[in-house]
Structure 1
Amino acid sequence: MIYKRCYFTLLFMWLHMVSAWSQGNTAKPNIILLIADDHGTDALGCYGNPVIQTPNLDQLAAEGVRFTNAFCTSASCSPSRTVILSGLHNHANGMYGLEHSYHHFNSFAHVQSLPVLLAKAGYQTARIGKFHVAPEEVYAFQNVLSGGKANDPTSLGRNAVQMAELSKDFITSTTKPFFLYFATDDPHRSNKVFPNGEPDFGTAGEPNSFGNRQEGYPGVKQVTYQPGQVLVPPFLPDTKESRAELAQYYQAVSRVDQGVGKLITYLKAAGKYENTIIIYLSDNGVAFPGAKTTLYEAGIKLPCIIRNPGSKRKGIVQNGMVSWADITPTILDLAGAIPANPTFHGRSFRKLLEEEHVSGWDEVYASHSLHEITMYYPMRAVRTRQYKLIYNIAHQLPFPLALDLVKSFTWQGSLQAGSAKFGKRRIEAFLHRPQFELYDIEKDPDEIHNLADNAQYKAIFNQLLQKLKQFQQQTHDPWIHKWEYE
């Protein structure tokens, strides 16, 4: 009888241990989504820049997956962030342009956002840093660690190290799986804000500081760069003005990297690093003319680094084509929280985190409507491995530059010098665009030679145009009606 009781006791203990082990290995992962502001692939060590110091992001790439064909869908802050957090293109979620101040764009009330869906699945959600989306009830987080006022010179978002410090308690104390939305203001251009909320990006003949300041920031080691060191990307002119601003931009990027490193330190100290998926993205390309607010490569082709501790392979370089419309479905898939009958425009690329060569990831779509409320210039684009077709819906208008770009030291320097070109592109062609732009990205990566009217490319043009129309139909694009009355 004693032996029998011992047997059942041991059996119970063994079953309990197996159950505990099983639960521990099927626990939902923590997820951190890191969003930088206006950071291109031009300024990251792991993307081939030997000058800039980004050791923490480089290490993240070495331990995870680095995407070489990742694209935002709109090179504008608020629209891009709502796509990331909803899986819906901006023309369908309602965030047609910037949310803050007098722009006042908002997403529709029916949108089911990523933080809300994760909370329903049992996640503890929190955000810190720049928010810049609305309404808050649609993009609701259970914990707001900082207010995140957009483009505020005194914003916490300029010090990612401090952001990590303020995230520490949330990371260490929560017993549920957590989702942390960690959004910096860096490396966005600096600006003053007038009482009416209007930003002032005037440079007074000097390079923008990109948030850098002489006294530095608490906990941040200042990493500075000389204008002669920087690598000037081909879409920019190689001038003293652009070099001076790129040096400031680099410094802001290195500040972001230090914050990422501090956040990882806290995760490791809490014993949660090996159960936390870390995703690093930027909302759009660098804040220079020719990148931000355009659908050219410099504006939409962005860094995407994902460390999934559950993946067997490390250091993968993934060339599958993904877009920010895929982020919400992918995160929900990793969390085991995809809702019934999802209506996302994107799809999960979870498989791309495990395998280098996965078929079916060979095209992406982009949709830009406005940036500032005065900047009406809707564009749609389809990008395949070789070609890109851009449809400039309001092509009759001159292309509008954002305030931070038109007043930039770099742009004004080119105008004052009487330059006909900005980088490799003619300024006239940049400001006055045709209805369609077709580029062979393989032969013409700088997107200079428009093939839309070239008879040799008529079949390719028609094929891509049909894809664009189908995209507009499938995503309920309000601008599709332009085809009917033009």
Structure 2
Amino acid sequence: MTDPQPNIVLIHCHDLGRYLGCYDYDVDTPAIESLADSGALFTEHYGTAPQCSPSRGSLMTGRYPHVNGLVGLAHGAWELDDGERILPHYLQDAGYETHMFGLQHITQDTDRLRYDRIHSEGNLYPGVSPVVHESNRARTVASVVSEWLESGAFDTPFFASVGFFELHRSQEADGRFGFDPDRYEKHDPDRIRPLPYLPDRRGIRTDLAEMHGMVTAIDDGVGEIVATLEDTGLDEETLVVFTTEHGIAFPRAKGSCYDAGLEVALILRYPGLADGGETYDELTSNVDVLPTLLELVGIDRPDAIDGRSFLSVLTDDEYTEREQVFAEMTWHDVYNPVRAIRTDQYKYIRSFWYLPKVYLTADVFASEAGREVREKYGAPGRPYEELYDLQETPQEDENVVHEPRYQDVRCDLSRRLKDWMVETNDPLLDGPVVPDDFDVIQRWPHEQE
């Protein structure tokens, strides 16, 4: 019998996508695979944005980025709108004690999140560089969490947000962005399986081999936390959620609304609810996680929430499946306004500016993988409309938007996407979204005298 208010441990990492053994990638992740084998794994779970802060904001608010205001990076002058409520706020109202370990990336001011206790050292605050996140490595954070669990220095039920820095790239002395090969176990590039949506080139293999070391660290961190829950007997009354915010930091993944950029791992384990190694292929979005957790602990879904609970999928009750998920991008290190809709079979992407064929975020652009393809992807320009038949071309490399046999699909998805934008009051419908520091751009030195 499940507890009506279980403890909740939400483990989230950077830039992982679904790059795990349990999602059929060629990487050894035994701890996470064990978690999936004793829990529930979602194979068609997607983020609302192929970038960090906006997608994380959706996870924590249950609302789309352009709805909650976080349409760019939290360390880049973007913030959640005043009055936005996040998961720990709802849980506090229900009597939960809330704790934060490791990183968060949804606000420049960590105190604004109002956790009961913050256990992290590397936190974002006004004037602090996001490089501070690098102190929140998986093994280090997991050790802190484990010591806390063993100490029993908490009241139950508790909510713990556990954020790992990995798989985010780090900038090296020469300006290259890599995966800290001197810090992690090295893997052989020649033994790496190439990514199906990129050419098989040496720089891409080298980056993937480096990244495998970081994946191993994430797996170790998850394994330590789960083992401590079991050793302390807390596992029977604790829901463990493991997820990330968007795809891996490679071209055509992070920063793009192709599946490789939006795909997100989601694994849950809770005895009596998600404990049999089930696999679910229903379309879900990370805006759905918050309302699912709220329903689980007995909190009514607020009207302002965009997501919908999928708890009934786990309980085998009647569930109306999603017909589509939506995704977006507005600002990252540059302006990249895109909106997308994905169904079981099709993906329709609409771009709202003059953009390169494939946008490369700054860390991907300056990586070994980025150097292999950036001349090709920098030009020609991207079409305003893209339509992909995911059954025919799952790598989204054949745009069929102008093919006669797809015109009914094109119009249907175009209509659905615009309807969603209208219903959610998307600012892109009124024209370009100016940067959050636009007032600085408009200042004239001679007028400040």
TM-score, normalising length: structure 1: 0.82
Helix, strand or coil at the partner of 2:287: helix
1:140 corresponds to:
114
Structure 1 pair 405/313, CA: closer, same or farther in 2 (3 Å)? closer
Contact kept in structure 1, 2:62 and 2:289, CA below 8 Å: yes
1:188 is matched with: 168
The alpha-carbon distance between structure 1 residues 300 and 166, as it changes in their structure 2 partners (threshold 3 A), is: same
In the alignment, which residue of structure 1 is the partner of 2:326?
Answer: 365
CA–CA distance in structure 1, aligned partners of residues 314 and 307 of structure 2: 16
SS at match of 1:463: helix
| Structure 1: runs of 5+ lacking an equivalent | 1-23, 193-199, 217-221, 421-426
How far residue 212 of structure 1 moved from its aligned partner, in angstroms, is 4.0
Coordinate RMSD, CA, aligned: 2.3
The reply on whether 1:48 has 2:48 as its aligned counterpart is no
Provide the residue aligned with 1:479 in structure 2: 428
The 1:268/1:97 distance shift into structure 2, 3 A limit, reads same
Asked if the contact 1:379–1:391 (Cα under 8 Å) also holds between the matched residues in 2, the reply is yes
Match of 2:28, SS?
coil
CA distance, structure 2, for counterparts of residue 253 and residue 353 of structure 1: 28
Contact 1:186–1:211 (CA under 8 A) maintained in structure 2: no
CA distance in 1, matches of 2:357, 2:178: 29
Query: How far has the Cα of 1:138 moved from its partner?
Result: 4.9
Give 1:401 shift: 2.5
1:243/1:153 Cα in 2 relative to 1: closer, same or farther (>3 Å)? farther
Q: Is 2:153 aligned against 1:173?
A: yes
Is this contact kept in 2: 1:111–1:138, CA < 8 A?
Answer: no
CA deviation digits over 1:395-432, x for unaligned, max 9? Answer: 467754221111111221345xx7x5xxxxxx366x62
Aligned-pair CA distance for 1:301: 1.3
- Cα deviation 1:224-274 (Å, max 9, x = unaligned): 321011111112221111111101111101100001111012111221111
Larger radius of gyration: 1
- Which residue, out of 134, 151, 164, partners 1:155? 134
Secondary structure of the corresponding residue to residue 106 of structure 1: coil
1:66 aligns with 2:66: no
Structure 2 CA distance for aligned equivalents of residues 360 and 463 of structure 1: 19
Matching residue of 1:11: none
1:108 alignment counterpart: 81
* Deviations 1:314-351, CA, capped at 9 Å, x for gaps: 11110000011111111111222235x43111011112
Letter in 1 for 2:66: H
Question: Are the aligned partners of 1:201 and 1:404 in contact in 2 as well (CA < 8 Å)?
Answer: no
Q: Give the deviation of 1:140 after TM superposition.
A: 2.4
Aligned to 1:344: 305
1:327 aligns with 2:289: yes
Which residue does the alignment assign to 1:229?
Answer: 191
Letter in 2 for 1:89: Y
CA distance in 2, matches of 1:357, 1:388: 27
Give me the whole-angstrom Cα distance separating, in 2, the residues matched to 1:110 and 1:290: 35
Secondary structure at the residue paired with 1:279? strand
Per-residue deviation at 1:211? 3.4
Provide the residue aligned with 2:335 in structure 1.
376
Quick check: 1:130 aligned with 2:91?
Answer: no
CA distance, structure 2, for counterparts of residue 44 and residue 86 of structure 1: 26
What is the alpha-carbon distance in structure 1 between the residues aligned to residue 275 and residue 238 of structure 2? 16
Give the total of aligned pairs. 424
8 Å Cα contact 1:109-1:138 kept in structure 2: no
Q: Give the SS at the match of 1:377.
A: strand
Over residues 37-67 of structure 1, what are the superposed CA-to-partner deviations in whole Å (9 max), with x where a residue is unaligned?
A: 00022x3111112x41211100011011111
Counterpart CA distance in 2 for 1:312 and 1:465 is 37
Residue 303 of structure 2 aligns to a residue whose secondary structure is coil
Structure 2 residue corresponding to 1:354, chosen from 310, 315, 321: 315
User: Which ranges in structure 2 are unaligned for 5 or more consecutive residues?
Assistant: 125-129, 433-449
Matched residue SS, 1:152? helix
Identical-pair percentage:
30
From 78, 100, 118, give the equivalent of 2:91.
118
Contact 2:296 2:311 (C-alpha < 8 Å) held by counterparts: yes
SS of the residue aligned with 2:42? strand
Q: Distance in 1 between matches of 2:250 and 2:72?
A: 18
Amino acid of the residue matched to residue 105 of structure 1? W
CA distance in 1 between counterparts of 2:193 and 2:94 reads 45
**Using a 3 Å threshold, how does the CA distance of structure 1 residues 212 and 337 change in structure 2: closer, same or farther?**
farther
Q: Distance in 1 between matches of 2:208 and 2:317?
A: 33
**Distance in structure 1 (CA, Å) of the matches to 2:223 and 2:180:** 19
Looking at structure 1, the residues matched to 283 and 83 of structure 2 have their Cα atoms a distance apart, in angstroms, of 29
- Counterpart of 2:55 in structure 1 is 80
What is the distance in 1 between the residues matched to 2:384 and 2:220?
Answer: 43
Q: Deviation at 1:73?
A: 0.7
The 8 Å contact of residues 88 and 115 in structure 2, kept in 1 or not, is answered as yes
Q: In 1, distance between residues paired with 2:102 and 2:274?
A: 32
Indicate conservation of the 8 Å contact 1:188/1:211, yes or no. no
Give 1:347's aligned amino acid: R
- 2:38 maps to a residue whose letter is E
Task: Find the partner of 2:388 among 439, 459, 462.
Answer: 439
Q: Secondary structure at the match of 2:264?
A: strand
Tell me which moved more, 393-402 or 439-448: 393-402
TM-aligned CA distance change 1:445 to 1:357, over 3 Å = farther
Counterpart AA for 1:368 = M
Asked if 1:90 is matched to 2:39, the reply is no
Equivalent residue number for residue 32 of structure 1: 9
Give 3-state SS (helix, strand or coil) of 2:56's partner.
helix
Residue type at the aligned position of 1:78: S
SS of 1:444's equivalent in the other structure is coil
Inter-CA distance 59–108: structure 2 relative to 1 (3 Å threshold): same
Is contact 1:313–1:354 with CA below 8 Å preserved after alignment?
Answer: no
C-alpha distance in 1, partners of 2:73/2:285? 20
User: Shift of the alpha carbon at 1:201?
Assistant: 7.8
CA distance in 2, matches of 1:346, 1:314: 26
